[in-house]
Amino acid sequence: MRKKRLLLLMVWIGILVLTVFPLDNYAATTGKIAGKVIDKNTQEPLPGANVVIEGTKMGAATDLEGEYFIINVQPGIYAVRATMMGYTVVTKTNVRVAVDQTTTIDFELEPTVIEGQQISIVSERPVVDKDITGSQEIMDAGYIERAPIADLSGALSQKVGVYNTGETTYFRGGLASEVNYKVDGASLNSGLLSDNWQRLNTTAMQEVKVMTGGFNAEYGNAMSGVVNVVTKEASRQKQNFHGKFNYRMRPAGQYHWGPNMYSDDLWKYTNFDKEYWEGTLEDPAQRQNYANYFKRFYGWDGETVPSADQLLDTYREQITPDDVLGDYTERAEHEIEGTLYGALTENFTLLLTGRYKRGVNIFPQAHAYNPEYNAQAKLNYYFSSNKKLTLNVLRGWYKSATYTESNWNNMESSQEARWQPNADVRSPYDNKAYAPWGGYWLKGPQEKTINMATLKWQHTLSPATFYTVQFYLPG
């Protein structure tokens, strides 16, 4: 009864969330293991040998040519075992399975009369993958954990053909709108301006496949590149949980070249002193300009010409920033991220991941912080070893008062963006550096959200055939 109630709950949640069922091109999220089993002494094929992936219920038997293949394998690192009556048991470890690729694992079994004798071999990754037809690179969970990165953009920037400006990621010199991001087979592309949600949690990633050319037709709506992210999934055989928690803090301080943008040592402070203003008052034309400006903008109703002290005080008032702008080097940045995944029962596995970041821009901006969060839940229910239903829900939000990766804030697609400057100050020598609220037409702040849910059905009909049906609601 408990299993039935759990299944009904997943279905009802899927029905409530998926009120619209638009169809989109579906990206692959699994790989394949194939190879051949032969007699080590005679080099003859061994038909009927059993090949299984340890820790799972997936496996295959060799045909008359000694060949086998196992389809619909989640990306990851496995141990694969080959057995046959009258032969040693051979296990190959460190077998890496990648999305959309075939991992070739061949076995040589040696005849034996000792029952239970086993041989363990560490598999080596081939120098050249023969089934790759385009330009692509794969980052697995181990690479993501070891690399000196904090987010997906940082990981992508280390790959050939990818350029990251800090706000936007470009592929092969193309536009930001020509890239398509996917997670667990579902597109993260908005469609309207071809915006992509890139703020995913690295602790939840099992594999990231980066394609920069020659990708298949299944990866549509992309010209420059495709980023296909597959999240972690627990083994059904082991009813335990795994997790990872990250906390990052960037101390307050100055993180750009040059002096503080509001330092008292800047030329705009040191040059325009009282002596400077006294000198300008000696020019009759300039004296009249000051009188006109003060009457027009400051309601001046006293003397005909302001004094040097009044000019200096007025100038200092204009170039003195408010607390948000002036204290931009005194705020620390905090980020918390965590992922938990495992198997509650043999038929039910889940993944929960979340992140909250109180970002701080390295330049002065209209708001003190750029907050953001990202949460995802992936629930898997196995009807049997060959039937699985997955509900995947993603929610993300951020608010920024600086340049964002939105194409609306991008000169590539928006004429309005050409007219407006950025929402932050980027040069201490810019003539707009001291009055960003009134000195020019300010753009921002901006908010961006994503609400996405997918309901996916996977059915393996035979050792050689499976199909996947996925409905999703992009946000």
Q: Across the strands, what pairs with 63?
A: none
Q: Across the strands, what pairs with 359?
A: 370
> Which residues 6+ apart lie within 8 Å of 155 measured at CB?
139, 144, 147, 149, 202, 208
Identify which of 371, 341, 366, 352 has the alpha carbon closest to the alpha carbon of residue 199.
371
User: Which residue is it, tokens 């309005």?
Assistant: 416
**What is the residue type of 198?**
Q
Percent helix, strand and coil across the chain, each to the nearest 5: 15, 40, 45
Q: What is the pLDDT along the chain (475 residues), one digit of tens a residue?
A: 555 555 555 555 544 444 444 445 556 778 888 989 988 888 888 888 899 988 788 888 888 888 898 888 888 888 899 888 888 888 888 888 888 788 888 998 888 766 556 666 665 666 556 666 667 788 888 888 888 888 888 888 887 778 776 667 778 777 777 888 888 888 888 776 777 888 899 999 999 888 887 777 666 677 788 888 999 988 877 778 889 999 999 999 998 888 888 888 888 888 889 999 999 999 988 888 888 888 887 777 766 788 899 889 888 888 888 888 889 999 999 999 999 999 888 889 999 999 999 999 888 888 899 999 999 999 999 998 888 999 999 999 998 877 666 666 555 555 655 555 556 665 555 555 555 444 344 556 778 888 989 999 989 888 778 888 888 776 5
This prediction's pTM: 0.77
- Alpha carbons within 13 angstroms on the beta-carbon side of residue 348 total 11
| Helix (H), strand (E) at residue 291 | helix 284-297
Q: What's the pLDDT score for residue 19?
A: 40
In angstroms, rounded to a whole number, what is the distance separating the alpha carbons of residues 227 and 411?
A: 23
**What is the residue type of 417?**
A
| β-pairing verdict for 102-104 and 31-39 | parallel
Cis peptide before 148 (omega within 30 of 0): no
Q: What's the pLDDT score for residue 362?
A: 86
The CA-to-CA distance between both ends of the chain, in Å, stands at 34
What's the pLDDT tens digit per position in 2-42?
555 555 555 555 444 444 444 455 567 788 889 899 888 88
Identify which of 397, 373, 454, 388 has the alpha carbon closest to the alpha carbon of residue 184.
454
Q: What's the pLDDT score for residue 8?
A: 56
Largest Cα–Cα distance in the chain?
A: 114
Contact status, residue 65 vs residue 46, Cβ threshold 8 Å:
no
Strand ranges, E, within 134-202: 135-140, 162-164, 169-171, 179-183, 186-187
Tokens of 74: 């989640």
Coil, helix or strand for 217?
Answer: coil
| Helix (H), strand (E) at residue 461 | strand 446-462
DSSP notation for 375-407:
EEEEEEEEEETTEEEEEEEEEEEEEESS--S-G
User: Which residue is it, tokens 């049906």?
Assistant: 469
In angstroms, rounded to a whole number, what is the distance separating the alpha carbons of residues 365 and 374?
A: 23
